[in-house]
């Protein structure tokens, strides 16, 4: 039996709720073609749905669940990638590089470059391994080194709290007030993973001045990684809006957790491993939002309680593991894991 145009539209935007926030343009264009074929009475309603339905709200019985891209303010930086020469590592000659960036974080509040409540952290990956990273030091840095013979690398930046931030010089009249506002900010950052889109570098393009791929203080705009999403769920019978006082973390009503759609996530209760997107497609937003996940990194080595070493790639191939064989601290939550993408 031929599907009606209205049912086709319903399937595209409602039965497949993950598409709306992630592939908005694609869905809008496809839906627009459908709208032109519909009767005039339906056009007004559907256009309103496209404009105001960006949260992809849908109903499971009387329970509301939705998904949103976890946005972050764009960040302008100047990025340099510099070839430093070769190193002899265990008899193998490996190319060495410097990654340097200059950002404007904290300038609006007059924080000095090396004492800010937050900073950029970075990991550099080749196709097969982690080749360099900066994940924080007592003195903030805006550079890191990495070594690789790969033709391409991918750079992942994310915004994170500076655990060594000295807030005393900025306390002014209210030390307690400033300290509380700082910890409030820290809590928000800690709960909500703030990641930017990855940057791909062609390592084969080395200029005469040792600049790689044209990255010589190159103006670079760090933008939201749309694969990091928020899962919301308000249970049947729950008051909305919630009249109870909110914590100082500033979290939105119904927000259950933040996950990565394009990373392999371990369900700690079942031991099963799937991409974040597949967890949502299989179980829906409501059930997925209640699951406890850990990130499986294909480039890391994990150790069982018996001392056996096993790669993240092998765990992913298994699709299911016995979590009792590992210490609970062996796998990281999204907030503490290193960014990667399977694309």
Domain end point (choices 171, 201, 222): 222
The answer as to whether 30 is a domain residue is: yes
Q: What is the C-alpha end-to-end distance of the chain, expressed in Å?
A: 37
Beta strand 152-161 with 118-125 is antiparallel
Tell me how far apart the alpha carbons of residues 208 and 262 are, in angstroms, rounded to a whole number.
37
- One domain, residues 34 and 136: no
Buried residues in 15-50 as b, exposed as e (16+ CB within 10 A): eebbbbbbeeeebeeebeebbeeeeeeeeeebeeeb
Query: Average of pLDDT values for 98-112?
Result: 87
DSSP type of residue 112: -
- One domain, residues 306 and 322: yes
The answer as to whether 65 is a domain residue is: no
Number of domains in the chain: 3
The answer as to whether 90 is a domain residue is: yes
143: β partners: 100
pLDDT for res 233: 87
pLDDT for res 176: 52
In which region does residue 21 sit, left (phi positive, over 0), alpha (psi from -120 to 50) or beta (all else)? Answer: alpha
Average pLDDT, the chain: 79
pLDDT tens by residue, 124-183: 999 999 999 999 887 789 999 999 999 999 999 999 888 787 766 665 544 455 555 555
Query: Average of pLDDT values for 69-76?
Result: 88
- One domain, residues 182 and 303: no
- One domain, residues 258 and 211: no
Count of CB atoms situated within 10 Å of the CB of 291: 19
pLDDT tens by residue, 81-96: 999 999 999 999 999 9
Tell me how far apart the alpha carbons of residues 176 and 173 are, in angstroms, rounded to a whole number.
9
Count of CB atoms situated within 10 Å of the CB of 300: 19
- One domain, residues 288 and 166: no
The answer as to whether 303 is a domain residue is: yes
The answer as to whether 116 is a domain residue is: yes
- One domain, residues 216 and 140: yes
222: β partners: 75
DSSP type of residue 272: B
- Residue 282: is the preceding peptide bond cis (ω within 30°)? no
Instruction: Give the helix/strand (H/E) hosting 25.
Output: helix 24-37
Residues in the chain: 343
- One domain, residues 143 and 216: yes
For helices 24-37 and 40-52, give the axis angle rounded to 10 degrees: 170
Domain end point (choices 199, 222, 245): 222
DSSP for 157-217?
A: EEEEE-TT---GGG-TT-HHHHHHHHHHHHHHHHHS-EEB--EEEETT-B-TTSBBTT-SS
- One domain, residues 119 and 214: yes
Residue 266 has pLDDT above 90, yes or no: yes
The answer as to whether 66 is a domain residue is: no
The answer as to whether 63 is a domain residue is: no
pLDDT for res 181: 57
Tell me how far apart the alpha carbons of residues 184 and 106 are, in angstroms, rounded to a whole number.
16
- One domain, residues 174 and 280: no
Domain assignment of residue 264, given as a range:
228-336
Tell me how far apart the alpha carbons of residues 101 and 99 are, in angstroms, rounded to a whole number.
7
- One domain, residues 254 and 215: no
Cβ-proximal residues to 190 (8 Å cutoff; 6+ apart), any chain: 161, 335
Provide Rg for the chain, Cα atoms.
23
Domain end point (choices 172, 189, 222): 222
pLDDT for res 298: 97
Structure tokens at 296: 């499986």
- One domain, residues 81 and 51: no
pLDDT tens by residue, 5-37: 444 443 444 444 444 444 344 434 344 444 444
Tell me how far apart the alpha carbons of residues 57 and 180 are, in angstroms, rounded to a whole number.
34
- One domain, residues 79 and 209: yes
The answer as to whether 342 is a domain residue is: no
pTM equals: 0.76
């Amino acid at each position: 039996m031929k599907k009606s145009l209205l049912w086709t539209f319903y399937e595209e935007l409602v039965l497949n709720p993950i598409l709306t926030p992630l592939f908005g343009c694609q869905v809008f264009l496809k839906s627009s073609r459908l709208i032109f074929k519909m009767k005039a009475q339906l056009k007004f309603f559907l256009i309103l749905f496209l404009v105001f339905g960006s949260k992809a709200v849908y109903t499971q019985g009387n329970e509301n669940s939705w998904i949103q891209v976890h946005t972050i303010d764009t960040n302008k930086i100047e990025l340099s990638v510099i070839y430093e020469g070769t190193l002899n590592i265990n008899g193998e000659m490996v190319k060495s590089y410097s990654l340097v960036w200059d950002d404007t974080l904290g300038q609006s509040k007059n924080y000095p470059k090396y004492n800010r409540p937050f900073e950029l952290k970075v990991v550099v990956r080749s196709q097969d391994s982690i080749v360099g990273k900066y994940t924080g030091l007592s003195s903030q840095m805006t550079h890191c080194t990495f070594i690789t013979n790969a033709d391409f690398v991918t750079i992942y930046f994310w915004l994170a709290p500076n655990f060594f931030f000295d807030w005393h010089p900025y306390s002014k009249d209210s030390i307690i007030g400033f300290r509380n506002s700082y910890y409030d900010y820290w809590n928000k950052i800690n709960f909500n993973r703030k990641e930017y889109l990855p940057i791909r570098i062609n390592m084969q393009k080395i200029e005469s001045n040792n600049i790689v791929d044209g990255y010589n203080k190159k103006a670079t705009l760090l933008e939201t990684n749309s694969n990091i999403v928020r899962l919301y769920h308000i249970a049947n019978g729950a008051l909305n809006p919630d009249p109870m006082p909110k914590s100082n973390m500033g979290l939105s009503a119904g927000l259950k957790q933040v996950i990565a759609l394009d990373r392999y996530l371990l369900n700690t209760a079942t031991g099963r491993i799937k991409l974040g997107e597949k967890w949502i497609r299989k179980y829906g937003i409501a059930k997925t939002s209640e699951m406890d996940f850990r990130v499986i990194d294909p480039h890391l080595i994990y150790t069982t309680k018996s001392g056996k070493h096993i790669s993240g790639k092998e765990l992913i191939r298994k699709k299911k593991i016995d979590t009792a064989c590992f210490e609970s601290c062996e796998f990281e939550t999204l907030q503490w894991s290193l960014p990667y993408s399977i694309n």
